[in-house]
Amino acid sequence: MPAVLYDFDGLLIDSETAGLLSWQRVYAEFGHELDLAHWLSETEAGRGPCMPTERLAELVGKPVDWEAVERRRIVWRDELLVARPGAEDHLAEARRLGFDLAIVSNAPDWWIRQRLDSAGIAPELFEVIICKTEGIARKPAPDAYLAALRELECAAGDALAFEDSPVGIRAARAARIRCVAVPNMVTAHFDLSAADVTLPSLAARPLAEVAGALLTAGCPGVRERSPDGR
């Protein structure tokens, strides 16, 4: 069965934008400006989440209660942690069309499930969730995508990946999966040209149209599912 494989952070949930804005607010609280170039370089390299506390400590130059700072930052971040525009409709369309769905992420399982719950997205929508775990190399290695294909029993030519960053795009393409880039406010700064298609949002084009153009099997067409979505 054809499948749609979704990255998580920055693609379904706008965590990269939330992280950046919350850290910019922390820096502003201390009268400084976040080094955006450093932040972007860390994100582009896939070393996130970026935690530029040491850089701020050097600027402040005096003792700071960093635990209290982090508590405030998390509150600010969580206020911004929402599903990206079009994400819920995109998932619903994929289910209506009969695709199997997977999340393929470098994030830990607890984070993915916590954030899905807070965004009102049921984990049961996904046949497979591949996350940060021992034995699976992080993106840009293709391991996580290859694991998803194995669990779904799906050929690479029948799968479509949605990613927001160069690291994720490289991972999908290394697994020989067609990839659609959907950049967020942060990753829009990066070169995403390795993707087969780049869209400004998940709502920009119908999934049926994109899949029909990119997948070997085209679009599978609507098939009935049981009440639990499977």
Q: DSSP for 1-69? A: --EEEE--BTTTB-HHHHHHHHHHHHHHHTT----HHHHHHHHHTT--S--THHHHHHHH-S---HHHH
Q: Are residues 165 and 141 part of one domain?
A: yes
Distance CA 107, CA 9 (A): 8
pLDDT band at 83 (very low <50, low <70, confident <90, very high): very high
Of 80, 106, 124, the residue at which a domain comes to its end is 80
Q: Are residues 199 and 150 part of one domain?
A: yes
**Active-site residue, from 7, 14, 158, 164:** 7
Q: Identify residue 48 by its one-letter amino acid code.
A: G
The reply to whether the predicted model has a pTM over 0.85 is yes
219 within some domain: no
Q: What is the three-class DSSP state of 228?
A: coil
Distance CA 43, CA 146 (A): 23
**Active-site residue, from 9, 100, 158, 164:** 9
- Structure tokens, 155: 């050929």
The pLDDT assigned to 63 comes to 86
226 within some domain: no
Point out the least confidently predicted range of 51-55, 157-161, 173-177, 221-225: 221-225
Instruction: Verify whether residue 9 is a known catalytic residue.
Output: yes
Q: Are residues 107 and 8 part of one domain?
A: yes
List the CATH number of the domain containing 104: 3.40.50.1000
Rounded average pLDDT over 180-189: 94
Q: Are residues 204 and 160 part of one domain?
A: yes
197 within some domain: yes
Q: Is the pLDDT of residue 47 over 70?
A: no
Instruction: Verify whether residue 191 is a known catalytic residue.
Output: no
Range of the domain at 10: 3-14+83-214
The closest alpha carbon to 152, from 121, 181, 130, 123, belongs to: 130
The count of domains in the chain is 2
